[in-house]
Chain A
Amino acid sequence: MSEVSRREFIKVTTGIVGGIIGAVIGLPTVYYLIDPALREGAKEAWIPIGKLEHMEIGKPYPFSFTRVQVNGWERTSTSHGGFVTRNSEAPDDLFILNSKCTHLACTVNWSDNDQVYLCPCHDAKFGRQGEVLDGPPPRPLDRFDEFRVTEDGTLEIFYKEG
């Protein structure tokens, strides 16, 4: 084995120790910086909205749910809702409207007297199928198209962010 000079030894040791310190601090730091990018937000989910047996055929059944978005230390919750209308006894013979008005996103209500959805903000009226009858909305009410009925008869909708 060749002789290592004192100077050489110090150089190598300093390099190694420095490298270890750099790696111990440097690698976690990279992870620290990119951590938020590695998280998966719950952007979509199956949401149970009620037992099918409780929903009268032909009568809009209102439901609502809340989604919580966590950004860092801040939690934002948003409310969503809609109406289920069953056309017949068949479990999948139904349609689900989003109760968010397509004009300025107020929540519409079903009026049993007038048999229309009324928006409280600008007096918009939507028909049973969500079609625009009156007022400023540019398009019919949105629908939750993806839904399923579980084995115990619970209706679930597929919710997707945005």
Chain B
Amino acid sequence: MWKKIFDWLDERLGLNDIYKNLLDRPEPRGNWWNTLGSASLFLFVLQGLTGIFLTVYYTPSPDHAYDSIQYIMEGVAFGWLIRGIHHWGASLMVIVVFIHMLRVFVTASYKYPRELTWLIGVGLLLATIGMGFTGYLLPWNQRAYWATTVGTQIAGSVPFIGEFILKALRGGPDLSALTLQRFFSGHIWMIPAILAALIGVHLFLIIKHGESHFPTRED
């Protein structure tokens, strides 16, 4: 019965082909360092899911942001777990993505024909840091407020266009409800959309090229 349903679907969707090409592809003799990309992907999905669930209660307004997070932590069943995973997962994701980059650098996996995979990876690293930067403001506590004040000031120290960048980031000269709202929008819509698109291309390229062998003495 199930076999029949599966065969019917497989004939039309090519499930077996997808499985073979995505998950059953040949790998070089690797080691655990090669799993960091998958770990990054897993963390991205985890952050996405917990983030979606957090928006059920989180309210991005100066009047409510802090209280809504207090409520998530103390009022809602398992709110502490969802936010805890999102909070620690964020730090972990930056670390894992960074070590992933180091691994690629050390094993020289960025070379021909994988230059574009590397460049897109740079975009992914920047987007991940952008997620960290925008997400840090959302609790709207003292630390978040002043970290963003300083962070946007640093961005504002760029010669000539600094003031423009600062105002664009803050949505005006000061940190305000506009800042919180645009950081929220960036955090849940814009940067995740960029991340997802880049991850798609990144994965396509990895599947197309296969994973690189570790360099040997001859290389």
Contact = CB atoms under 8 A, between A and B. Distances in A.
B78 A29 contact: yes
A73 B64 contact: yes
A73 B67 contact: yes
Contacts, number: 41
A157 B183 CA distance: 50
Interface of A: 25, 28-29, 31-33, 35-36, 38, 72-74
Interface of B: 46, 49-50, 53, 56-57, 64, 67-68, 70-71, 75-79, 81-82, 85
A35 B71 contact: no
B4 to A, nearest CB: 23
A126 to B, nearest CB: 40
B71 A72 contact: yes
A33 B71 CA distance: 13
A73 B78 contact: no
Given A32-B81, A72-B68, A74-B67, 10 more contacts: A25-B46, A25-B49, A28-B82, A29-B78, A32-B56, A32-B76, A35-B78, A36-B76, A73-B64, A73-B70
B49 to A, nearest CB: 8
A73 B75 contact: yes
Given A31-B77, A73-B67, A25 B85 contact: yes
A30 to B, nearest CB: 9
Contacts of A25: 46, 49-50, 81, 85
A118 B77 CA distance: 49
Contact of A35 (B46, B64, B68, B77): B77
A33 B53 contact: yes
B73 to A, nearest CB: 11
